[in-house]
Amino acid sequence: MTFKLVLKIFGIIAILITITPIFALDYWWIRIFDFPHTQLTFLTALAILVYFIKFDFKNEGDYAFVLILVACFIFQFVKIYPFTLFAGEELKPSSKNVTTQISFLTANVYQDNEDTQKIIKAIDDSDADVMVLTEANNRWRDVISQAISDDYKYQIEFPLDNTYGMLLYSKLKLVNPEVKFLINDSIPSIHSKLVITSGDTIQLYAIHPTPPMPQHNPMSTDRDAEMMLVAKKVIDSKLPVVVLGDFNDVSWSKTNQLFKRNSMLLDPRIGRGIYSTYNAQKFLLRWPLDHIFCSKEFRLKDFKTYDETSSDHFPLYAKLSFEPEKASEQEPESPSESDKKQLQEQLTKISKTSD
């Protein structure tokens, strides 16, 4: 097999992986190609550069092949461009001397992980006002509840052994907290109002939808529908909103972007970087699965991952300032009629499945 043939085979694979997620199908083996997008973008660029070593300037097929690869690269880069430093920041930085701030930590602890100390260290270092821990069973609940300070007076604990247990700890007052089962009676989410230090009340949604993987769910329908249901709740909310957790979806996917447009929430990653949170144990296979979204009343003071972890996820941290008087300066676009239609289509899919 010649070197040029190897490059062509790789190029064809890159092309197929690029176009596969375009199809509006929920099968896991299609949706999974949303994930390694940064890796694919880099490898496609590398393939283009290397292909020129064997480029035949008299061969029309070589021109056509390279043009297709370039088109794939442009398509790929356009998707991740908003999550680079070249793009403008969507969620504006906090103003100077702002008084009301609230910090959040979301961490998938990895249920079978027995090295608890690194997670505890991230919790201690963050000193977050609100923490959401996913994949928590009873063992993790006992470890965390004993390790955290007495400042976390408000606690919602729903440990499970199916990798979907969820714990929420808050220093700030929770109002009418509820454990909800939006799609499946074994996959909880936590919804609560939260009274912040200024005396204002905000709405909090903590979610962990099922991923499109054969060992979890062969379709992305449930994940997508849960995200759309939360988007609908955000739309209907009269309060400022924060949504956080392990979404099992990447920032640039169709579903994540549809969720964002319909909910009109802001993403701290845009204009700042990708901030991959998974897979913490595999350097070359990382992408952003954990998210903290907020409405326009908030601005960003700090955003980071805690890179020392024993889980397969890096904990994600955000410190937000509450500045509703400046909300108009970062007004998101209203969802289009097409966006609203797609949201309803996702909800229709799940209703048909449950019938």
Among 6-10, 17-21, 249-253, 345-349, the range of highest mean pLDDT: 249-253
pTM, two decimal places: 0.91
The answer to the question of residue 94 being in a domain is: no
Which pLDDT belongs to residue 209? Answer: 94
More confident residue, 15 or 324: 324
Q: Which of 83, 109, 139 is the last residue of a domain?
A: 83
Shared-domain flag, residues 105 and 79: no
Provide the pairing of β-strand 101-108 with 130-134: parallel
How many percent of the chain have pLDDT more than 90? 70
* CATH for 327: 3.60.10.10
Which pLDDT belongs to residue 22? Answer: 67
Shared-domain flag, residues 299 and 266: yes
Segment 88-125, tens digit of pLDDT: 999 999 999 999 999 999 999 999 999 999 999 999 99
Shared-domain flag, residues 116 and 74: no
Shared-domain flag, residues 145 and 282: yes
Shared-domain flag, residues 71 and 171: no
Shared-domain flag, residues 213 and 343: yes
Shared-domain flag, residues 124 and 228: yes
The answer to the question of residue 261 being in a domain is: yes
The answer to the question of residue 352 being in a domain is: no
More confident residue, 93 or 14: 93
Shared-domain flag, residues 190 and 310: yes
Domain that holds residue 228: 101-347
Rounded to the nearest integer, the mean pLDDT of the chain is: 90
How many percent of the chain have pLDDT more than 70? 92
The answer to the question of residue 200 being in a domain is: yes
With CA atoms as reference, report the closest residue to 38 among 85, 90, 86, 83: 83
Q: Which of 56, 83, 110 is the last residue of a domain?
A: 83
pLDDT above 70: residue 205: yes
Which pLDDT belongs to residue 25? Answer: 57
Shared-domain flag, residues 25 and 165: no
Q: Which of 83, 111, 129 is the last residue of a domain?
A: 83
In the chain, the number of structural domains is: 2
Shared-domain flag, residues 41 and 186: no
Which pLDDT belongs to residue 28? Answer: 55
Asked if 229 and 37 touch (Cβ cutoff 8 Å), the reply is no
Segment 212-224, tens digit of pLDDT: 765 566 667 888 8
The answer to the question of residue 116 being in a domain is: yes
Shared-domain flag, residues 211 and 166: yes
The answer to the question of residue 321 being in a domain is: yes
Shared-domain flag, residues 132 and 229: yes
The answer to the question of residue 68 being in a domain is: yes
The answer to the question of residue 318 being in a domain is: yes
- The DSSP code sequence of 86-134 is TSPPSSPBPPTT---EEEEEEEE--TT----HHHHHHHHHH--SEEEEE
Segment 31-83, tens digit of pLDDT: 677 788 888 888 888 888 887 777 777 777 788 888 988 988 998 899 999 99
Which pLDDT belongs to residue 139? Answer: 98
Segment 231-280, tens digit of pLDDT: 999 999 999 999 999 999 999 998 999 999 999 999 999 999 999 999 99
Alpha helix locations (H) across the chain? 3-19, 28-31, 37-51, 60-80, 117-126, 138-147, 221-236, 254-263, 337-354
Task: Please state which of the ranges 164-168, 204-208, 311-315, 340-344 shows the lowest mean pLDDT.
Answer: 340-344
